[in-house]
Chain A
Amino acid sequence: MKKRNFVLGLLMLGFLAAASMTIYSCYPYNSTNPAEYDVVVTLHDALSNYNGSYKKYVMRDSVAHVTDGSAGTTITRSYDTLIRNKVRDNLASFGYTRVYDTLSADVVITLAITNSTSYYVDNYYPDDYWGWGYGGGYYYPWSSAYSVTTGSVVTTMTDKKKMQPGTTKKAIVWMGILNGVVDGTTSTMYQRISAGIDKCFSQSLYLKAQ
């Protein structure tokens, strides 16, 4: 009886310990779909400063391209028109009127794309193991190198009245940033950029002109 209880107890202990260790190792985050790494960040002024006070905007047709200068990080112009049109359409749906005379505008909209490549080296040090009959030992560590190119589409809204010519004082009242991994086909990039810009606005309803 005592021996049976001992074996039962030992089995229970082993099961609980093994289950805990196994489950602890499970971090389920290994998606290979670039769209799942897209993040939308909107930065805003105090919400009480909006209240529909911005109604007219002026926007340049050009989209600024900013890279980190490393080889192979030039940015295609393929997405410029899409970005311009999506921002224009979202502003229109918020009740904004586009004007072409800066003097009559409340805000200035500027558009930019950035990208940057980061290189990583990961070193893996596996746990040592316990052998049966042959004694324990260690696995050799190994390394892997990889690079990730991330890009951002940045929409900036600047309050024209707060601008002070001749100074560097910032008058930015809103920024919408779509950040993600630069990967995938042109059509999926179109979808991601389109959805990302829409998201920038849909989570910024305080910008509405009415």
Chain B
Amino acid sequence: MKNIKYLIIIIVLVLMSSVKSNAQYNNEVFLSYNLGLPLGDSKDYVSTLSYIGTEINLKRFVKPNVSLSISFSWNVFYKESSDMISLPNADVSGKQNRYINTVPMLAGAQYYFGRNTNGIRPYVGANLGALYLGRRLQIGVYDITENTWHFMLQPEAGLIFNLNDYSDAVIGLSYNYGTSSTSSITGKSVSESWIGLKFGYGWKNGMFY
């Protein structure tokens, strides 16, 4: 946790300095609160909504209607469960705490519809990159954690609200898919997928100087 905290702080500082030094480019830093609705194998493991998540996203507008982005985000899915776990030659039951910790690190491009100065602008985008994933199972006195890396795809769509010359707000919907790997907890090949909903605030360049 300590490392993640420092990583986020460093990223924020780096991105802010980037905004200042590249003022001639139309850059924008977004911070968002993220919700996650698990799907597929992720839902089988933790079926409940993740309301714990955040994202930092740096966008560079290379054209008025096109931006390139780098983003780091995080969502944790948690469920207390008593469901039986079926393995190839065993069944296990007991009170469990199940976690999926997701840290997508993505690069992508977005296209914006409409004029770039005022009002509300719909956008669509596609991101790809790496997903750092932690699965954790606490059952009885046992605690099993596995950390894995996955290739990740993330199509997205949303609305950007121009608040003023210095800031935007954003609402975005995304489909998140991490490629499969074998879980040492369940012994099965699982992929990760979830629907993400974010509410963000963006600082345009010129904000911090």
Q: Which residues of A contact B (CB under 8 A)?
A: 1-2, 5-6, 8-9, 12-13, 16-17, 19-21, 23-25, 27-29, 31, 36-46, 127, 148, 150, 179-181, 199, 203-204
Contact = CB atoms under 8 A, between A and B. Distances in A.
A29 B96 CA distance: 9
A148 to B, nearest CB: 6
B31 interface: yes
Nearest to A29: B97
A125 to B, nearest CB: 9
A127 B2 contact: yes
Contact of B140 (A17, A24, A37): A37
Given A16-B54, A27-B99, A148-B141, 12 more contacts: A12-B31, A17-B12, A19-B33, A24-B76, A25-B1, A31-B95, A37-B95, A39-B94, A39-B142, A45-B89, A199-B93, A204-B91
A20 B74 contact: yes
The 10 residue pairs across chains A and B that have the minimum distance between CB atoms: A39-B140, A39-B94, A20-B54, A5-B166, A23-B52, A29-B97, A16-B31, A43-B90, A36-B95, A37-B140
A206 to B, nearest CB: 10
Nearest to A128: B2
B54 A44 contact: no
Contacts of A2: 166
13 contacts: A6-B207, A12-B31, A16-B54, A20-B8, A27-B99, A37-B140, A39-B93, A40-B93, A42-B90, A44-B91, A45-B89, A150-B141, A180-B140
B34 to A, nearest CB: 10
Nearest to B74: A20
Chain B residues touching A, majority SS: strand
A38 B139 CA distance: 8
Contact of A9 (B74, B138, B203): B203
Interface string B41-85: 000000000001010000000000000000000101010100010
A204 B91 CA distance: 8
A29 B81 CA distance: 12
A41 B97 CA distance: 17
A19 B93 CA distance: 34
* Residue with the greatest number of chain A CB neighbours at <10 A, chosen from B12, B33, B84, B92: B92
A44 B93 contact: no
B164 interface: yes
Nearest to A179: B140
A44 B99 CA distance: 28
B54 A41 contact: no
Interface in B178-201: 201
A145 B76 CA distance: 30
A203 B91 contact: yes
Given A12-B31, A13-B12, A40 B94 contact: yes
B5 interface: yes
Nearest to A35: B95
A181 B54 contact: no
* Residue with the greatest number of chain B CB neighbours at <10 A, chosen from A29, A44, A45, A150: A29
Nearest to A8: B167
B49 to A, nearest CB: 14
* Residue with the greatest number of chain A CB neighbours at <10 A, chosen from B33, B89, B94, B139: B94
A74 B167 CA distance: 69
A40 B164 CA distance: 60
Contact of B94 (A13, A38, A46): A38
Contact of B31 (A13, A37, A39, A179): A13
Contacts of A42: 90-91
A40 B93 CA distance: 5
Interface in B85-125: 89-95, 97, 99
Contacts of B166: 2, 5, 9
